[in-house]
Structure 1
Amino acid sequence: MPPEPSFEIPARPQRRYPYSGGVEYEGETVFRLRPTGDRSESDLRALVEAILESEPYTYGDWLDLPMPLYLVHDGQTGDVFRVAIRDGTVELYVLPATDSAGLRQFYETLTAHSDDAWTVDLTVERA
């Protein structure tokens, strides 16, 4: 059995506030969680939403996007991160103040609620 991923964060995005308003991020760190079995997008969405409906999570979603995207707060670790479902994966997007503990806890909860094994890939785009 492969070792559990550490969710060590090698780089963090930088927040920018353009004069035109809003917020933008420069750089990106994404952990992509892929089940070993085939799961439909709707199955992944139901799994993620079941987890987010439980303690210690609070979340919001954007209804008008072409994919499920959630802003998640872990009340136990205090971490905030984004979760997206795309192309058969659950993607965890690091925000500037995200720590590894919240990502690791989400992964552990995901694996506990699923019969699948999961692979974790890391993508880093530096600012």
Structure 2
Amino acid sequence: MAKTSTDQALFEAAEAIRAKAYAPYSRFHVGAAILADDGKIYAGCNIENAAYPQGNCAEASAISAMVAGGGKRITRIYVTGPGAAPVTPCGGCRQRIREFADLDVEIISHGVDGTPLVTTLAQLLPHSFGPEFLPK
């Protein structure tokens, strides 16, 4: 499925954490694995809550793990979910990724029964607003 050994490692990490997702309401289990600037892989899964807005997406959980682990920047991210259609980050997660990734960072979105979709952050979030627009 994955084209490189890095993508294979990211896919495996995303799938391993996806198995731990807490999704009793949607039953849509998602895993995300980030390759960070420190060379480590950080993974996260979606965690639902009966009060829906209180849940966490897999990408947000992976970003939290990266920051907690000492990583600063996302260099590649792999998202897995069920079905054949690519499971792409939601709009909020695209903006979260934008905070920690350059626009040319590749995001691999994979419905595990289908073919992975490889896009850049710029393609998923065109004309985006990022931290460089704010005064330092």
* TM-score computed with the length of structure 2 as normaliser: 0.29
Comparing both structures, which one devotes a greater share of its residues to strand?
A: 1
Comparing both structures, which one devotes a greater share of its residues to helix?
A: 2
Of structures 1 and 2, the one with the larger relative CO (CA 8 A, separation 6+) is: 1
